[in-house]
Amino acid sequence: MKLVVYCLLCILLSACGNTYYVYKENFRILFNNDEPKVLTWQQIAQSQFDLIEVVTEEHASLVLALAFIENGQHKFISADNSFFIFEQGRLVRTTGLKDNVLFTKATQPDPLALPLNALDGANWQFVQDVTTGVNLQASNHFYAMGPATISVLSRQIATLHFTEQVTYLHNGKSVINHYWFDAASGQLIRTLQHVPTALQFVDVTFLSRINRLPS
């Protein structure tokens, strides 16, 4: 484990193109050994890279590691080539899904960047390009659902739960995205979001963020 983490650290100091390839291969090694694929808190704490768990229709459970932070976007990769990019906690680009998000843009700041006490009732409009369609316009509205306790690897966490109703103008369909913020720090620690055309879900738990929270 320590050897893999050391290799990953060295890799990130190399050129970007080569970095991505070797980083991915070393991350694959991490999950192809005899260690369990369901991580423990000890493994999460020992990782020098932030880890997330993703559940989708294609993957019962997939672990991704933070590879880069660039222009406010957090880029996570997995051992099976999946690539997920988040901005302010919103999934703005993906690979490895039935229908991938290729691009997300908006003229106004994402309400997810607001303080939590200003998120309830916020509205936003954005445009996404996906594998099966381009310039898909959507509008959304946030709702505060109140306190909620979630369980992650047997750890109970007090959160503030918000929902986001997203309506896609190209087909009139609506979905509900979910966001759980740590009640004490306000950090986003779990989210369930949808890809517009297939309306498939992506359920994300920010494992390393949770591990850094006070017990």
User: Does residue 172 belong to any structural domain of this protein?
Assistant: yes
How far CA 182 is from CA of 60, 161, 200, in Å, comes to 24, 9, 25
- Residue whose token pair is 């750890």: 155
Examine residue 90 and state whether it is found in any structural domain, yes or no: yes
Q: What is the pLDDT along the chain (215 residues), one digit of tens a residue?
A: 433 333 443 444 343 444 454 455 445 544 454 444 678 999 999 998 999 999 987 777 889 999 999 999 999 998 877 889 999 999 999 988 888 999 999 989 999 999 999 999 999 999 999 888 778 899 999 999 999 999 999 999 999 999 999 998 888 889 999 999 999 999 999 999 998 766 688 999 999 999 999 97
Coil/strand/helix, residue 51: strand
Residue 4 lies in a domain: no
User: The pTM is what?
Assistant: 0.84
Q: How many domains is the chain built from? A: 1
On whether residue 5 sits in a domain, the answer given is: no
Question: Does residue 81 fall inside a structural domain?
Answer: yes
Look up residue 39 and give its two tokens. 């991580």
For residue 7, give Cα distances in angstroms to 4, 184, 211: 5, 35, 23
Cβ atoms of 164 and 188 within 8 Å: the answer is no
Domain that holds residue 112: 36-212
Q: How many CB atoms lie within 10 A of CB 185?
A: 12
* Any domain includes 6: no
Domain assignment present for residue 19? The answer is no
Kindly report the CATH number assigned to the domain that includes residue 125. Answer: 2.40.360.10
Any domain includes 132: yes
Q: Is 15 helix (H, G, I), strand (E, B) or coil?
A: coil
